[in-house]
């Protein structure tokens, strides 16, 4: 009788990086694939991809981005600039004894991954972006753009950019807030197009939470998954995670020399068709022929929201492994 091979063991590392330390979770052997999570998540968002990539013959490594989980949380938003996060990712590759990697990110992790390929093409030979497309540096100052996106109300990014404000909303009930935030952006629980109030803006003096879908939890978020996130943020707080939003104007200054620059590495984009980001960033997606000249896959998953690799893990794994296999061809 032929036995099914045992899954590759999971290894945890604390690696020396410019952040101080970076927590990395590894499974499998072969070419390195570095996985970067978004907000408000941790390495755990890649729990379905780690074994699938390992089984396909890759060394899959998911990290806690600086500010999250067991990675360092330096004080001050300047430490969360894009150049710092790219330096962390490159240092992880070196600390793992590798010279190059494919980098794949979701949400903020997608933006970090894109800038890894832009700024360090010597290290990152290909880039996959889930949920958020590549938009080249340049254009108006980010804080000015987001200030105009809420209409008469306040867009969530502007809300997050004010130090301490979102922390005061979230930290008294991390578990409840995360449940609502995940539900608001999941296809099976998000408010419908006829909802009276959009869930990504706040009224004057209000909170994001009051617009979340009450009493609903997406199918992918059982107690174990919610605990994995809530327990980490209850331990660390949210300031480190939110500092990424507060560093965006510094990115605009730091990256001015790369304004309009395309990524000249093989690329992949995957997003949920129900993800609001697809609408907000439609111009960036339409510009892919110019901004991603080596794009080798562009997928919108019907009936899927923002949390692509958790809402649709099997389909995401299939897309990723086929794309990775094609990189050697």
Please report the pLDDT score of residue 4 as a whole number: 44
Lowest mean pLDDT among 17-26, 49-58, 192-201: 192-201
For the chain, the domain total comes to 1
Please report the pLDDT score of residue 308 as a whole number: 98
Residue 213 covered by a domain: yes
Residue 284 covered by a domain: yes
Residue 5 covered by a domain: no
Please report the pLDDT score of residue 229 as a whole number: 98
Residue 271 covered by a domain: yes
Please report the pLDDT score of residue 3 as a whole number: 47
Q: Given a cut of 80, is residue 248 above it in pLDDT?
A: yes
Please report the pLDDT score of residue 192 as a whole number: 77
Q: Indicate the pLDDT class of residue 225, thresholds 50, 70 and 90.
A: very high
107, 199, 251, 275: the catalytic one is 107
SS (H, E, C) the chain: CCCCCCCCCEEEEEEEECCEEEEEEEECCCCEEEEECCCCCCHHHHCCHHHHHHHCCCEEEEECCCCCCCCCCCCCHHHHCHHHHHHHHHHHHHHCCCCCEEEEEECHHHHHHHHHHHHCCCCEEEEEEECCCCCCCCCCCHHHHHHCCCCCCEEHHHHHHCCCHHHHHHHHHHHHHHHHHHHHCCCCCCCCCCCCCCCCEECCCCCCHHHCCCCCCCCCCCHHHHHHHHHHHHHHCCHHHHHHHHCHHHHHHHCHHHCCCCCCCCEEEEEECCCHHHHHCHHHHHCHHHHCCCEEEEEEECCCCCCHHHHCHHHHHHHHHHHHHHHCC
Residue 166 covered by a domain: yes
Q: Which is higher by pLDDT, 42 or 7? A: 42
Please report the pLDDT score of residue 7 as a whole number: 75
**Catalytic site includes residue 107:** yes
Q: Which is higher by pLDDT, 215 or 20? A: 20
Averaged pLDDT, 263-287: 96
Q: Given a cut of 80, is residue 323 above it in pLDDT?
A: yes
Residue 136 covered by a domain: yes
pTM (2 decimals)? 0.96
For 15, the domain range is 10-327
Residue 2 covered by a domain: no
- CATH label of the domain that carries residue 154: 3.40.50.1820
Residue 92 covered by a domain: yes
Please report the pLDDT score of residue 2 as a whole number: 42
């Amino acid at each position: 009788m032929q036995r099914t091979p045992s899954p590759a063991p999971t290894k945890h590392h604390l690696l020396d990086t410019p952040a101080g330390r970076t927590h990395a979770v590894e499974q499998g052997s072969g070419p390195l694939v570095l996985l970067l999570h978004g907000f408000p998540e941790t390495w755990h968002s890649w729990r379905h991809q780690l074994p699938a990539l390992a089984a396909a013959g890759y060394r899959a490594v998911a990290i806690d981005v600086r500010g999250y989980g067991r990675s360092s949380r330096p004080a001050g938003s300047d430490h969360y600039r894009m150049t710092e996060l790219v330096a962390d990712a490159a240092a992880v590759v070196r600390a793992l004894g590798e010279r190059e990697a494919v980098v794949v990110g979701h949400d903020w992790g997608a933006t970090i991954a894109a800038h890894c390929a832009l700024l360090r093409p010597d290290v990152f030979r290909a880039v996959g972006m889930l949920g958020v497309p590549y938009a080249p540096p340049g254009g108006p100052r980010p804080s000015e753009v987001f200030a105009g996106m809420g209409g008469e109300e306040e867009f969530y990014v502007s809300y997050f950019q004010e130090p301490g404000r979102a922390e005061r909303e979230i930290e008294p009930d991390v578990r409840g807030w995360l449940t609502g935030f995940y539900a608001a952006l999941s296809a099976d629980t998000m408010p419908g197009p006829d909802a009276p109030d959009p869930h990504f803006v706040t009224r004057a003096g209000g909170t994001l939470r009051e617009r979340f879908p009450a009493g609903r939890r997406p199918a992918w978020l059982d107690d174990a998954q919610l605990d994995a996130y809530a327990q980490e943020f209850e331990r660390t707080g949210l300031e480190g995670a939110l500092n990424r939003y507060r560093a965006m104007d510094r990115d605009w200054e730091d990256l001015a020399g790369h304004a309009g620059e395309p990524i000249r590495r093989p690329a992949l984009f995957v997003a949920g068709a129900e993800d609001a980001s697809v609408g907000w960033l439609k111009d960036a997606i339409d510009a892919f022929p110019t901004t991603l000249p080596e794009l080798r896959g562009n997928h919108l998953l019907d009936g899927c929201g923002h949390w692509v690799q958790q809402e649709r893990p099997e389909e995401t794994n299939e897309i990723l492994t086929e794309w990775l296999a094609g990189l050697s061809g």
